[in-house]
Chain A
């Protein structure tokens, strides 16, 4: 599925900007059949005997113990596997980043790879917007049509009205920090996300110091969805309390739903 996703989300829209290569121990005939079935037009490279994989130091020496972890025996096909991962290269062929996993199960999505290469997809995101008192919210997924087990990301863009701020962690107990709640349906796994750093804020006459954020900022929330989960409605709830330098409004919530559809190769 990762190879199909790369065709659709990287090579298709950005083939002029980024060269994609996929390497495995598969022989040419296997790769030819796969490429024909899935319309893959970037190079699927045949490293029969895992010679290049070994020379590059990428031969996965932990397959047997990994199989044991899953309670499964080693088979012939597990010999010669590389560590699953991706090298990101600059235009001179220099490695700028390595994204590797311990398991073949979870892979970075194409949009994430393009972002890490400072490229962007040509497609506009499907933005879902909602407003609350003093706050506008826009949210979108990297790819609303998701590939199972591909790391996807939800971007939540928050914009506060002029003169208002929200509390962001850390703050003394009793103050309502900005919070993004996602009640993940079955089959959806959401990564803990980082809130904006904010800046120090002091209210005259109060002994405490606060941390607040203002203006427009984004929160990135990684997630992935298991195979055969089908259509997903991802509920997103933003809890906040907007304040000016002198007054705080009542605590509010903004809710929206991100619709995601599974791609079946």
Chain B
């Protein structure tokens, strides 16, 4: 979304509906290490709850 005063407003628009897993599809079963070094399987960890999968820049900068 673009809000007034957003300096990013001049960036080209992107159609995010075509980027990454689509609405209506099952999110792929990703398995990665967490901050404790334990392997986390998204599907198993979600355990019947609703889910938020956030893609962010970095926790370092």
Contacts and interface: CB of A to CB of B under 8 A. Distances in A.
Interface residues of A, number: 74
Given A66-B11, A102-B11, A189-B4, A95 B52 contact: no
Interface in B42-57: 42-43, 45-57
Interface in B8-51: 8, 10-14, 16-17, 19-30, 32-37, 40, 42-43, 45-51
Interface in A45-66: 45-47, 52-53, 55-58, 62, 65-66
Interface size class of B (residues with CB under 8 A): 35 or more
A6 interface: yes
A19 interface: yes
User: Chain B interface mostly helix, strand, loop or mixed?
Assistant: loop
Contacts of A158: none
A20 B4 CA distance: 30
A35 B57 CA distance: 15
A106 B4 CA distance: 12
A101 to B, nearest CB: 7
B6 A89 contact: no
Contact of A22 (B5, B7, B26, B56): B56
B46 A93 contact: yes
Across the A-B interface, give the 8 residue pairs with the lowest CB-CB distance, nearest first.
Answer: A89-B51, A103-B8, A34-B59, A82-B55, A31-B35, A45-B32, A100-B16, A189-B5
